[in-house]
Chain A
Amino acid sequence: MAKEQTIVREFKVENKYGIHARPAALLVKVAGKFACEILIGKKGSEVSAKSIMGLLTIEGHQGAVLYVQATGEDAEEAMEGIAELFEKKFFED
């Protein structure tokens, strides 16, 4: 069993329309696959990455830098999944 761990990373939003409803739904879908707790947002005002309504409040426009923190046994895998979404610009543009 993997150990309880906390991973922190920062991502820049690259896609033109930012984290609107569709990318938010994608994030929730990926985050929902993991048991760990995932927080995302401007540092100090994060929301759960498993909440669509939360994700729409973090102002993830193009160019915004978002802080992501995953805590739990599967934090590493979860972070990889999230990183992929940001790298692939949420399959937009």
Chain B
Amino acid sequence: MAITLQELLEAGEERLSLELVWGEKYLKRTIEEKAINRPGLALTGFFQYFAQRRLQVFGLAEFTYLKSLGVKERETRLRAILEKNVPGIIIARNRNPLPELRTLAEEYKTPLFRTTMITSHFINESTVLIEELTAPRGRVQGTMLDVMGIGVLLQGRAGIGKSETALSLIEKGYSLVSDDVTEVVKNSRGRIMASANEMTRYHMEIRGVGIVHVPSLFGMGSIRRETELDIVIDFHPYVNDADEDRTGMMPSEIDVLDVKLPYYALPVSPGRDMANMVETTALNHKLKMLGHDAAKELDEKVIGTFLNRSGK
């Protein structure tokens, strides 16, 4: 997913102290490659490899080098870069663009930006920002909670009791991230980050009660802005001979933004305390992640004992 210069400017105005110097009409240009390039080598005339699809940042080194050149040479070298049709140019350390650069930018319709940041900070910050802006995102149906540091997404058909279970979990001291609709983003490490929709954040709808504001009722500790999505728990009505896994040794997975996540189907029936079920599932998952798989270990113990017996 490519972003436009406009999107970068909007998101980076504050975070990158980014300011447009010239080129408002050309902000629809897209950044094809999500990385930042320092055109030092290209300025010296080396073009065998030049990352022309990236944003170009002119820092102290580039400036000092250009200043060391004669006016004519400076123009030639800059033209060679602008000719490549780079998406945009950013000048660090709040410098004024050299007059040649400004003229060439207009000639090649290349937007020119300025930042107060020093080059290395700008490169770090903008890489992160571009990564965030271009990350795959989506929306999933389900209530998101943080249970002891484990990000749990509760799914299941309407009316099965997701919000009610969430409420019980909040009362047990865990935190709500979002109710019913959860926004997901895949970060650069390939993990799914879950948060609430801006509009309905921290609100819940409880049948018979209506819409409630969770932190007002349960305090600031009852909410979390964002959490990593670790497991998906699906509530379904209890059916007897469902093909369910009774040992927990046959794990299922579900795809969220092309990331495979552990999936647990929990049957709902009268008398089953679902908040407790979710808590136990999350804890057991945490234990498995620490390398302690209770089902597998018990099975190994049983098999070991049986092999001894049958051998005699």
- What residues make up the interface of A, taking CB atoms closer than 8 Å to B? 16-22, 24-25, 28-29, 32-33, 52, 56, 59-64
4 closest A-B pairs by CB: A61-B306, A18-B306, A62-B310, A21-B299
- Total interface residues on B, CB under 8 Å, equals 16
Q: Which of B240, B247, B306, B307 contacts A60 (CB 8 A)?
A: B306
B249/A22 in contact, CB under 8 A:
yes
Using A17-B307, A18-B310, A61-B309 as known contacts, say yes or no to A52 and B246 having CB atoms under 8 A apart. yes
Q: Which of B240, B241, B303, B309 contacts A20 (CB 8 A)?
A: B303
A59/B307 in contact, CB under 8 A:
no
- Binding site secondary structure of chain A: loop
Using A21-B298, A25-B247, A63-B310 as known contacts, say yes or no to A32 and B240 having CB atoms under 8 A apart. yes
Q: List 26 A-B contacts (CB under 8 A).
A: A18-B302, A18-B306, A18-B307, A18-B309, A18-B310, A20-B302, A20-B306, A21-B247, A21-B249, A21-B295, A21-B298, A21-B302, A22-B247, A33-B240, A33-B241, A52-B247, A56-B298, A59-B309, A60-B306, A61-B305, A61-B306, A61-B309, A62-B310, A63-B309, A63-B310, A64-B310
How many residue pairs bridge A and B at CB < 8 Å?
A: 58
Q: B307: which A residues are within 8 A, CB to CB?
A: 16-18, 61-62
Query: Nearest residue in A to B244 (C-beta to C-beta)?
Result: A29
Contact code string B283-312 (vs A, CB < 8 Å = 1, else 0)? 000000000000100110011011101100
Q: B310: which A residues are within 8 A, CB to CB?
A: 16, 18, 61-64
- Binding site secondary structure of chain B: helix
B241 to chain A, nearest CB (A): 5
Q: A17: which B residues are within 8 A, CB to CB?
A: 303, 306-307
B29 to chain A, nearest CB (A): 59
Q: Does B171 contact A (CB under 8 A)?
A: no
Chain B 174-223 interface residues, beta-carbon cutoff 8 Å to A: none
Q: A24: which B residues are within 8 A, CB to CB?
A: 247
A30 to chain B, nearest CB (A): 9
Q: B298: which A residues are within 8 A, CB to CB?
A: 21, 56
Q: Does B245 contact A (CB under 8 A)?
A: yes
Q: A29: which B residues are within 8 A, CB to CB?
A: 241, 246
